[in-house]
Amino acid sequence: MIDFSLRTEHPHNTKTDAVAVAVHEGQKLSWAAEELDRASKGALSAALKTASFSCRVGAVLPLLNVAGVSAPRVYVYGAGASSALSAKDARATGKAIASCANEHSVGEVAVFALSEGAVDAMTQMVLGATDAVYRFDETKGAASKAKAEKPSLKRVRFGMPEGTKDAAKALKVAVASAAGIAFTKHLGNLPGNHCTPTRLGDEAKKLGKSHGLKVTVMDRKQIEKLGMGSFLSVTNGSDEPPRFIVMEYAGGKKGEAPTVFVGKGITFDTGGISLKPAAEMDHMKWDMSGAGTVFGVMRAVGEIKPKQNIVGIVAACENMPSGRATKPGDVFTSMSGQTIEVLNTDAEGRLILCDALTYAERFKPKAVIDIATLTGACVVALGSVNAGLFSSNDKLADDILASGKKMNDRFWRMPLEEDYQEALNSNFADMANVAGREGGAITAACFLWRFAKKYPWAHLDIAGVAYKGSGKEKGATGRPVAALVDYVMANE
């Protein structure tokens, strides 16, 4: 993790390895670039001209030994046409500056923000720079670990325009979010044979110790005692013992209603007896990304210490075929007492979440938000830009949408309406676990809704946004940790 902080020197006399200042299209200098240009007696603007620097967002022009500037390097970063950077552009800029620093073996950069939207841009730059130095190597061999280039960038100092308010608080939140995202990505990228339900339970205990959370990890016996017949039906085919994990952060008054996050923690989804096709089945190691999000958010919360009560719940197990596995047509009784006919064992996410949603009732929550890689149908509907948002409460939905927009970690609200419920009718139980192919993301949400009637509730289907499935960037994204941390902080 990069060490981020604020600093107050002027750009030209900042003692660091590189100072980064913004220039807009038309080579219009930001306040910090102007200060450097004055100190260098016009050398900066002259260099920009010679380089015919585009000033496009994401472009960085490195200059060496600029006269009158203490730092040996000046990074001019493109700030585009508008006066403030959008969340997306600021994130890309942070990533570009950090990548540039790594290329030059630079250890510390002082980044000077634009005068408009400086605090929000700083937040995004923290996320972008952290992303640039993220490496996954837990499952690489010793030789490739030794050979791998280590990112040089260790420290980023932010220079804010004069009169900026609340920068320290925003930085603390941003840094906690960034570390939460990295944690979520790490858990997601671990393969199924490493990231087992047992490992998730151990990670929760570790997190509890390091971040001041009360953690309860329940095993099969305790889950049976709670009557979670639906959750346990998914574990029947697996030799990996399940875990039901509860992480409690108490920053609010005793007895104050908490916000509860519930994560789908399928550590590998083969589909069970309704087996998935072989192609890209490795993606199903990311089927615990909802749980990973809960871990990331709880880590951030434990670091920020808001004055609220917040609970993270994770239902973790594997979905495997075997002689003991659940068969299509089997009927189980959920913790709520409602019975479920399992017509497709690959619709397992809802089967574990429904019992977790019932469990959440005991906290008398002010809101429950579940996060799950729930349906391929959601990927078809929304692609990888927006996650699906379903909610029984307009205020909750609007708040989540707003945080998603602000952080460019976006959601699109989908319908949650009684008319879709009919498709889940069963002749042999209170409901079936699947409807037809039509509106698959919606009927999945409707299934969960039947277990979430006692509190304001939102369901986030992150199947399309939690990971990139191919290419150089193949891996977990850490979404939507940033949006959910912002949602929590908007409640402060």
- Binding residues for ligand BES, per CB under 6 A? 269, 283, 287, 344, 346-349, 373-377, 379, 434, 440, 463
* Shortest CB 269 distance to Mn ion, Å: 4
Segment 31 to 50, residues that bind Zn ion, using CB under 5 A: none
Tell me the two tokens of residue 488: 């929590």
Per rule CB under 5 A, count of chain residues that contact Mn ion: 3
By CB under 5 A, the residues from 287 to 306 that bind Mn ion are none
* Residue sitting closest to ligand BES (CB): 376
Determine the angle formed by the axes of helices 440-449 and 349-360, rounding to 10 degrees: 30
The entry of Zn ion, ligand BES, Mn ion, none near residue 375 (CB within 5 to 8 angstroms by kind) is ligand BES
From CA 130, how far away is CA 477, in angstroms rounded?
Answer: 12
Residue 276 is among the residues annotated as catalytic for this protein: yes
Pick the catalytic residue from 185, 350, 406, 410.
350
Q: Are strands 155-159 and 3-7 parallel, antiparallel or unpaired?
A: parallel
Strands (E) in 175-301, as ranges, are 214-218, 243-250, 259-269
How many CB atoms lie under 10 A from the CB of residue 145?
12
Q: Which residues contact 383 (CB under 8 A, 6 or more apart)?
A: 464
Asked whether the beta carbons of 261 and 371 are under 8 A apart, the reply is yes
Closer residue to Mn ion (CB): 180 or 265: 265
Report how far residue 140's alpha carbon sits from residue 42's, in angstroms, rounded to the nearest whole number.
49
Residue 377 binds which one of ligand BES, Mn ion, Zn ion, none, with CB within 5 to 8 A depending on kind? ligand BES
CB 436 to ligand BES: min, Å: 9
- The burial of 323, by beta-carbon neighbours within 10 Å (0-12 exposed, 13-18 middle, 19 or more buried), is given as exposed
Choose among 160, 23, 43: nearest CA to 93. Answer: 23
Give the footprint of Zn ion on residues 211-270 (CB under 5 A). 266, 269
Instruction: Give the x/- contact pattern for Mn ion in 249-278, rule: CB under 5 A.
Output: --------------------x---------
Nearer of residues 286 and 363 to ligand BES, judged by Cβ: 286
Residue type, 239: D
Cβ-contact 40, 66 below 8 angstroms: yes
Q: Residue 348 Cβ, how far from Zn ion at the closest point, in Å?
A: 6
The Cα 13–Cα 29 span in angstroms is 18
Token pair in block for residue 302: 């434990």
**Pick from 78, 95, 84, 69: nearest CA to 16:** 69
For ligand BES, the closer of residues 75 and 451 by Cβ is 451
Query: Is 350 labeled as catalytic in the residue annotation?
Result: yes
Determine which residue in the list 89, 203, 287, 461 makes contact with Zn ion, applying CB under 5 A: 287
Query: Could you say whether residue 461 binds Mn ion (CB under 5 A)?
Result: no
* 318 near Zn ion (CB under 5 A): no
For position 349 contacting Zn ion by CB under 5 A, the verdict is: yes
The residue within the footprint of Mn ion, chosen from 89, 203, 341, 346 (CB under 5 A), is 346
Which of ligand BES, Mn ion, Zn ion, none is residue 68 near (CB under 5 to 8 Å by kind)? none
If one counts every other C-beta atom within 10 angstroms of the C-beta of residue 139, the result is 10
Nearer to ligand BES, 48 or 200 (CB): 200
Q: Which among 155, 205, 276, 413 is annotated as catalytic?
A: 276
Catalytic residue numbers? 276, 350
> Which parts of this chain interact with Zn ion (CB under 5 A)?
266, 269, 287, 349
